[in-house]
Amino acid sequence: MMQGKRHHGAGDASASPDAWQRPIDVNPDPDKTELSSDEGAAGGAGKGDPELDLDLAAELDLAQRQAAEHLALAQRVQAEWENFRKRAARDAEDQRKRAAEGLVSGLLPVIDNLERAIDHTTAGGDIRELLAGVEMVHRQLIDVLGKEGLKALDPFGQPFDPAQEQAVGQTEDPEVPEGTVVEVYQKGYELNGRVVRPAMVVVSTGGPARKQA
């Protein structure tokens, strides 16, 4: 009897067992592939780029020069400010001294007249002449200080003003409006519009209410 030939196909069991049982690796691990690519890139970068190195060196040099220029500018500005501050302080001190010299120069004639009045009294001069001399010196002194901006505050008969006066007492007076200055115990003074010493006054009570202006 003739035996038929058997055809060996792809699924033939007579093929090598390992050939069809072992799976084919058609999808390799992408992480491994990516890591390999990164490693290759890192390896390439490690070789260095001369042009990149030159650019970085130029930028560093520029930054250092700019920093030095800014520091020099800041030091120069600070030195100029210190010079300005010292110069302003010297000018203010010079101005104060000149103002003091002007005041003293104006007071010297007052001192001279006071000394003459003393000498006159010591020599047995008339008391009335002494009084006249003292009054003249007083007017002279007020005139000198007035040129410096000094003004006397004499609020007698005026409504009490706590901004310019200090009440040291009260007295009942029904004939004047309530809160009227009826006695000036001590004059006040203001210098260039600023009160340097308030007037010490006595204020009335018991009178009619003051009419509003």
pLDDT top residue among 211 and 87: 87
Residues of the chain with pLDDT > 90, as a percent, come to 49
Q: Provide the angle, in degrees to the nearest 10, between the axes of the packed helices 127-147 and 50-122.
A: 170
pLDDT tens digits, one per residue of 99-108: 888 888 899 9
Residues of the chain with pLDDT > 70, as a percent, come to 77
pTM greater than 0.75: no
Measured distance CA(109)–CA(172) in Å, rounded: 45
Whether residue 84 has pLDDT greater than 50 = yes
* Range with the largest mean pLDDT of 12-26, 37-51, 181-195: 181-195
Beta strands in the chain (DSSP E): 150-153, 165-172, 181-186, 188-191, 194-197, 199-205
186-190 long-range contacts, Cβ below 8 Å, gap at least 24? 187/152, 187/153, 187/154, 188/152, 188/153, 188/154, 188/155, 188/164, 189/150, 189/151, 189/152, 189/153, 190/150, 190/151, 190/153, 190/164
How many residues does this entry show for the chain? 213
pLDDT tens digits, one per residue of 134-158: 899 999 999 999 998 999 999 999 9
The CATH number of 150-213 is: 2.30.22.10
- Tokens 């009178």 appear where? 207
Backbone dihedral region for residue 48 (phi beyond 0: left; psi -120 to 50: alpha; all else: beta): left
Contact 179, 160 (CB under 8 A): yes
pLDDT of residue 2: 42
- In this structure, the number of other CB atoms found within 10 A of the CB of residue 159 comes to 14
pLDDT of residue 121: 83
pLDDT of residue 111: 92
pLDDT tens digits, one per residue of 181-206: 999 999 999 999 999 999 999 999 98
pLDDT of residue 86: 93
Give the residue extent of every domain in the chain: 59-148, 150-213
* Residues contacting residue 155 through CB under 8 Å, at least 6 positions apart: 161, 164, 165, 181, 184, 188, 199, 201
**Edge-first strand listing for the sheet containing 199-205:** 165-172, 199-205, 181-186
